[in-house]
Amino acid sequence: MKKLILLTALLATGLAQAAPINSAQSHIGFTMKQLNVPVDGSFKNVSGTVTLDLKKPIA
């Protein structure tokens, strides 16, 4: 809940427009089916930037 309030406050002031992904604390996990058997996988090295378009916040 605190994160939501902080995000709302940043959006209201226009400060939250782009943020880098912290690769030390991030990972991507997924589950797929191979021969109808669930197989888990993940990516540990993630990098990128999250960008927020204030003109289209829902998109």
For 14-58, how does the pLDDT look when each residue is reduced to its tens digit (9 = 90+)? 545 677 888 888 888 999 999 999 999 998 888 888 887 777 777
With respect to residue 59, please indicate whether it lies within any of the assigned structural domains.
yes
User: What is the separation, in whole angstroms, between the first and last Cα of the chain?
Assistant: 22
Total-model pTM: 0.43
Domain extent at residue 56: 19-59
Residue at 6 is within a domain: no
Residue 40, SS3? strand
Number of domains present in the structure of the chain: 1
Q: What are phi and psi of 27, to 5 degrees?
A: -155, 160
Q: Which pLDDT belongs to residue 8?
A: 61
For residue 23, being part of any structural domain is answered with yes
- CA dist 56 and 27 (Å) reads 27
Examine residue 56 and state whether it is found in any structural domain, yes or no.
yes
Residue 25 placed within a domain = yes
Give the CA distances from residue 30 to residues 20, 39, 46, in Å, rounded to whole numbers and listed in that order.
22, 8, 14
